[in-house]
Amino acid sequence: MLNITCSTRTSSTLRSISTQTSRLIASSVIRDRQARHQQSGNVVSARFVATTPAYEGHIPLNWFENAFLAVGSAVMSLADPRRGDMIAALGETTAGPSLPRLRDQMLESAEGRKILKERPRVNSTTINMNELAEYREGTFGRAYVTWLERCGVTPDTREPVHYIDDPELAYVMQRYRECHDFYHCITNLPVSVEYELALKYFEFANLGLPMTAISAVFGPVRLTPQKRHRLISEYVPWALRCGGSAKSLITVYWEDRWGQNVEDIKKELGIVDPPEATWKRPLSEAKAAAAKRQRSAVFSTDKH
């Protein structure tokens, strides 16, 4: 009873901090924007921030706003892991030199250079799920559709990038964000908190993004002792070992590999299977749903 009371009080306190921090961030940004507008002719203000957006959705921040948003988004992400916007803000405001490093890795491979040139996006308008369902069993395209069905998610859940000034680096962050589910699929991990944290350890070892380390360090406090023990004793060793030795996943053009065998991709990238995960939905149901999608696609094609 005492544990429940303490947990409730802790959650209430975190929510209160989250709300207060959110208000402070909003008021700080508004005040700073107003001050910059009033001093639009002042050269000094231009030294701290580029006031002209560099791409659609870009929100330029000065160093103080960036630091304040980083701290605030970290607090709110801990208080409520469902706040995807705050997790996204945390990733962008703490990225630092990791994005130029990832961009350079992409430039070193033909596949990575092709990604940077074409800048593909991952969402339900760019990916035809019915077409992927027509791929044979064992291919990456079919595995991805089955994973989406099994987890009950869509490719449309990723936040757009706002706080990274360089357009190319902003795309690198967007690419990482939109390919996150591909990483889930290729490692065969569900989307629960426990397995999300396991993948964050993997991503930190593989990509080195600071946000993944922050999530990996503080995220386990939300797990039960049993799940936390399993994460640390079983999944973390796998994630650090596999993520550290595997090919950098940011350089993989996943959309060119729909028809490739999943096991061949894993072998090429140096990915070994993690400890077996516990799924809420049986694989047989997800495969049946993917097969139904395939039949619908075939019927639609025949009809036309």
Any known ligand binding at 196? yes
How many angstroms separate the CA atoms of 24 and 253, rounded? 40
Closest CA to 171 of 158, 182, 185: 158
Any known ligand binding at 229? no
Any known ligand binding at 162? no
How many angstroms separate the CA atoms of 271 and 131, rounded? 26
Report the 10 Å Cβ neighbour count for 264: 13
φ, ψ for residue 225, nearest 5 deg? -55, -40
Any known ligand binding at 111? no
How many angstroms separate the CA atoms of 275 and 277, rounded? 6
Q: Under 8 Å CB-to-CB from 38, ≥6 apart: which residues?
A: none
Cα diameter, the chain: 66
Q: Which residues define the annotated binding site for Zn(2+)?
A: 180-181, 184, 196
Q: Which residues define the annotated binding site?
A: 180-181, 184, 196
